[in-house]
Amino acid sequence: MTQDSTTELLAPAGNLEKLKIALAYGADAVYAGVPQFSLRARENGFTEDNIFEGIEYTHQQGKKFYLTANIIAHNRKIKPFINKIESMLQAKPDALIMADPGLIKIIKEKHPQTEIHLSVQSNVMNA
């Protein structure tokens, strides 16, 4: 099977300033998330408030924004995670980057139209 594909330059956006720089220098897409739901929380300068601004800015540039939500959630964090992600989906990120199979299943059941990308972090977790 032959499938046409286009290479996409994907860059991390550690904060709003870095997001704008990545897009200005040619990134086709950026990825970022809020610290409480991202495995790289220390490299993350986004807040719940400005992540919406980042998604909007990215879309205004005609680029894609992938929302990182790649924690492996303990039971007590599942409901807060789902509530927050549902709120963030209103900003219309182009995809979620996720690692937890259980959370992926929940999101796909509740939001089947949401595109999910498997996080490279999913490879470092073990039951």
Which spans in the chain are helix H? 16-24, 48-60, 75-89, 101-110
Q: Which pairing describes strands 29-32 and 116-118: parallel, antiparallel, or unpaired?
A: unpaired
Confidence check: pLDDT of 42 > 60: no
Residue 104's pLDDT is 93
Residue 98's pLDDT is 93
Residue 108's pLDDT is 95
Count of CB atoms situated within 10 Å of the CB of 110: 12
Q: Calculate mean pLDDT across residues 69-88.
A: 88
Confidence check: pLDDT of 4 > 80: no
Confidence check: pLDDT of 103 > 80: yes
CA 112 to chain centre: 16
Locate the domains of the chain by residue range.
30-121
CA distances (Å), 20 to each of 1, 53, 68, in order?
A: 38, 11, 17
| Whole-number Å distance between alpha carbons of 114 and 111 | 6
